[in-house]
Each structure stands twice: as structure tokens, then as C-alpha cells.
Structure 1
């Protein structure tokens, strides 16, 4: 990203359940960063994994975002409608000799300690029943995060030939994300710190395609009382349907941002306008924490 590049951010939830407080932090942080830069904020529904999707969740997510005043620019992108773009990206990598078919199972990779060893790399296997892996000849060992500074990942993660098309025929998350962010012109990815590790894989894909990488900013995670991040898998409660302002105030405080003393007298729109005006990256905490009680 350069000074002449327009700012375009995004929020990209998967429809595996309703938004919760942790989701709101990612949505609000990315929205505020985009609005503070007078940029655009896109929404993408990452619905490329049907077995994990909850019926009706995508529509509820969009209603929740609107209810909390986080209005997006342009049309919503649906990954389920972009299979042609993913197929074209796979074909490009295949033509360039940057991918290969792999028949190794998850259980074999687990027995290796969790990282793939390149077993199928040079075996010229047939595509039937195979996954497709990216040939990582130049490992990405780390990246600069706008909040956390230089981040390094384990060498085994950086060097792993990772899957970009699954054995079950579904497109892998990392491939779809990179293709979509490139198509949307995303200049900065603002998301939760649980996605730090996949960043090096996404940067590796940007390099393979010869595309410039966006900037990266990973927000702190909200934890439950067991020390685990709030997530749909951990049954985090959905965002309430009532007055959004107390929950927005709790989210702003979690993100280290100032809250107007008379926020109870402000509309949701005005509260968010005040939050944009006062948005300070330097106030973001780097450590994950328990969420505060809404509206305190």
C-alpha cells in the first residue's frame, strides 16, 4: 500500500453462526480503521464450506451488522458465487508448476507432528481423490503487523507446502481469501489475532501470483473465563438484538478507545461518528483479555 492507494478494508465472516462479541470487535475495528482513513469498508460472506454453515446465519449476520450501525459499501461478496475465480487461480498456479497433487491423509500429517513433509511433491500423482498443495520454495517466515510489529512464525509452518484445494473438492480458505482480497483491492486486512498464523501462507500466495500484499493489523481477542477466545465453537452468545449502544461501548473500551461521557444521550450513528473521530491505533491493546460488561 502506498500513499496514493485508496484505503479499502473488509470484514469477512463465515456463516457458521451468529455474530458474537468477539466478531463485533473484528467488525468494529476494521470498520473504524476504514472510516478513519475515509476509505471503503466491504463485507464478504465466506460461504465456501457448506458442511460448517448454519442455515440462515448469513442473513442474520448482515442484519446484525446493520443493527449495530456498521454499514458496508457496495454489494456483499459471496464466496459461493466466486468458484470460477478460484478455479482460474488454481489453473494459473498449475501451469506455472507451483502446485501439485497430494494423496496424504490428515492422520499421516498428524503423525508427522502436524506439518506436511512434502511426501508427494515430486511424485506426479493423478488428480483423482487428491488435494492440491502449493509448492513453497521461498518460505515466508514472518511479516510486519501494524499493531504488534515484526511477527515470526515457526520455520516448519513457513516452509510447509499447504493445501489450496481440498480432497473433498472444496476450495481452501487461504486461496479464496487471497483471490477475493486482490479482486476487491483490499489495502489493509484488519482482523482478529487468531488469524496471525495463516497470514504467512496468504503472503506466500501473493508472492506466487506476483501481487502486492496488503498491510496487516491483527486485533486483540476477547477471551472467555476459561481463557479461550470467544467463538462460535465455544458457544459464545449471539449479539443481543436490543439497544446496540451498550455493546458498542464495551467493544470500544475493549479496543482501548475513548467513549463520550454522555454516550447514553447519543444515537448509535452519532456514537460511531465520535468513535471514528477519536480512533487511535496506538491505544489498541496487544494482549487478549476478558470482555468488559456492556455499557459499564
Structure 2
């Protein structure tokens, strides 16, 4: 086991795993196992209203069926609220975050970029979202697949939410705190999260946390351009199709496959893939059409 590499897969139980989930999970798994690293599993269950009944158990069962075995205990974000609350209060008391009472309707004209309406109003925390103040700076990093990526936080994001008005904690905060707490060194995930990364880099800097390496794999999209996902009722991964779907996912990641593997077990496919894993072969693009992989 190589303790200098710690990867993770962090699904949201708002639905079942689909082929796009498999591509991301497989890339993360192989990138860790190819260097003898640890691969952790975290359930990002911080939004109960969006959680699908039975999804958590189904996700675990699917990963096991596909041979994707994780190290250690599963971490559940729903059990980490105290850690999130502590940081929110610290940032608020230091003046690095503030309460925001803006409604969605008020913010519609600004197209997702918060204009700072509540920044200097000194609202109380009750019945308010909490936003972190961002600097008028560009944050950039080198992604292992997508290359250089840069985002000006003030112009392209604005002060962003770390605790919602309903009291639930925001993804950007939870993911940063959990990755640091779990000692994650390498984050391999879908390209839809590429533009979230600068906000996470800022939080890491603000909280004095180390910065992981990032690798964002192409999203698998449908003919209409939408990514495969729970919102579009993408087909869940069937347990009895693990081998052919693993081979298809390997092709999506630009990895070599052998026709003889068609009769292999999922674990044999993963062993073969791990020995030949080459992250540099992953297509350097944001999306791949699912139809082209069949």
C-alpha cells in the first residue's frame, strides 16, 4: 500500500449509479490502485430532500458487483455536520463570511454570479444563508487531463454559499473539509466539477489546508448534449453487465482492452486495467458521446 496516494469516490445518493458514474469511479479507482494507493468511499448525503430511497445501499452493492472495493469504512457527510458548523462559525466570526437573505427571485438577473447585495449589511445568521467573501483574484491550477484552468472568483463566481438558508451545508465547503480530513491527495472526478475547483482552492487557502492534485475526466453525454445523470433518468448500472460495461468505460478513458477479457470476471478486468493504466491516454476533452462508445 502506498500511503502517499489517497484517492476517493464520492457519489451523491440522489439516484443510482449510471455509466457516467462508472467512468468516473473507474478512473479514480485505477489511478489509485496502479500506484498501490488507497481508495476511499464517501457518501455525499448532505441534502436529504434530494436523496432517493434505497440509493445508498444500491450504490454500495453496485460498486461491489463491479469489483470496485474500497479501503476502510464508508464516510457519510450526514455524520460530519459538527465539523462543518465549526468552520462556518469560525469564518463568520472572523468576518470572512456573512449572512445573506437574498431570495432566488432577487438573484435571477445575475445569472449565478452573486453581486454582493448583503456583503456589508451585517445580517444575523437566523433565516439566512452564509456566504464566504471571495477576493478579486483569479485562481488557477493545472489539471492532469484538462490542462490549465483559471477562474476569476469575483467576476465568475462572487461570494458563494457555504451554508444554505435551510441550514444544510453546501457542497463546496463539505468536500474541502472532508478531503482534508480523510487525507485525500488526488481527486479524480467528472469534468462537470472543473469550474468548482477554484472555489475549493480558495477555501483550502483560507483554511490552511493542503491542495490535492486534480484530474477531471470527460463527461459522458447523451445525443441531446446532456450529461448522463440522475436528473435525466439515465439507466442504472445492471449488476449482470459488469464486465462489458467496465470494458466500455475503459475505452471511454482511452485505455487498452483485450478481446479475451469479454469472458473475464470484473476483478480480472480491473487487474488487467490496473497493470496498464495510463492517465495520459484519457481523452483531453470535456465530453464524450455515449453513442460513440457502444
For the criterion TM > 0.5, the same-fold answer is yes
Cα shift at 1:150: 0.5
Structure 2: unaligned runs, 5 residues or longer: none
Cα shift at 1:210: 1.1
Between Structure 1 and Structure 2, the one with more strand by share is 2
Among candidates 186, 189, 198, match of residue 187 of structure 2: 189
Secondary structure (helix, strand or coil) at the match of 2:235 reads: coil
Q: Which residue of 1 aligns with 2:65?
A: 67
**Contact persistence 1:250–1:291 (CA under 8 A):** no
Among candidates 61, 86, 95, match of residue 93 of structure 2: 95
Cα shift at 1:105: 1.4
Structural mapping, 1:111-126, within 5 Å: 111-126=109-124
**Cα distance per residue 1:150-202 (max 9 Å; x no partner):** 01235555551100000011001100101100100000110000011111111
**Contact persistence 1:257–1:284 (CA under 8 A):** yes
Q: Which residue of 2 aligns with 1:283?
A: 281
Structure 1: unaligned runs, 5 residues or longer: none
Among candidates 41, 44, 69, match of residue 39 of structure 2: 41
Cα shift at 1:93: 1.3
**Contact persistence 1:139–1:158 (CA under 8 A):** no
TM (norm. structure 2) is 0.95
Q: Which residue of 1 aligns with 2:264?
A: 266
Q: Distance in 2 between matches of 1:220 and 1:27?
A: 12
Among candidates 198, 209, 212, match of residue 210 of structure 2: 212
TM (norm. structure 1) is 0.94
**Cα distance per residue 1:58-85 (max 9 Å; x no partner):** 0100000000000000000001111111
Secondary structure (helix, strand or coil) at the match of 1:164 reads: strand
**Contact persistence 1:5–1:187 (CA under 8 A):** no
Secondary structure (helix, strand or coil) at the match of 1:6 reads: strand
**Contact persistence 2:134–2:154 (CA under 8 A):** no
**Contact persistence 2:98–2:132 (CA under 8 A):** yes
Q: Distance in 1 between matches of 2:284 and 2:7?
A: 20
**Cα distance per residue 1:36-93 (max 9 Å; x no partner):** 1210000101111011001110010000000000000000000111111111111221
Matched, 1:203 2:197: no
Secondary structure (helix, strand or coil) at the match of 2:221 reads: coil
Q: Which residue of 2 aligns with 1:18?
A: 16
Matched, 1:8 2:6: yes
Cα shift at 1:30: 0.3
Cα shift at 1:264: 2.4
Secondary structure (helix, strand or coil) at the match of 1:178 reads: helix
**Contact persistence 1:164–1:173 (CA under 8 A):** yes
Q: Distance in 2 between matches of 1:114 and 1:158?
A: 9
Q: Distance in 2 between matches of 1:154 and 1:230?
A: 28
Range moving further from structure 2, 282-291 or 33-42: 282-291
**Cα distance per residue 1:117-170 (max 9 Å; x no partner):** 111111111112111000112534322111111012355555511000000110
Stretches of 4+ moved more than 6 A in 1? none
Rate the CA distance shift 1:158–1:111 in 2: closer, same or farther, 3 A: closer
Q: Which residue of 1 aligns with 2:160?
A: 162
Range moving further from structure 2, 59-68 or 146-155: 146-155
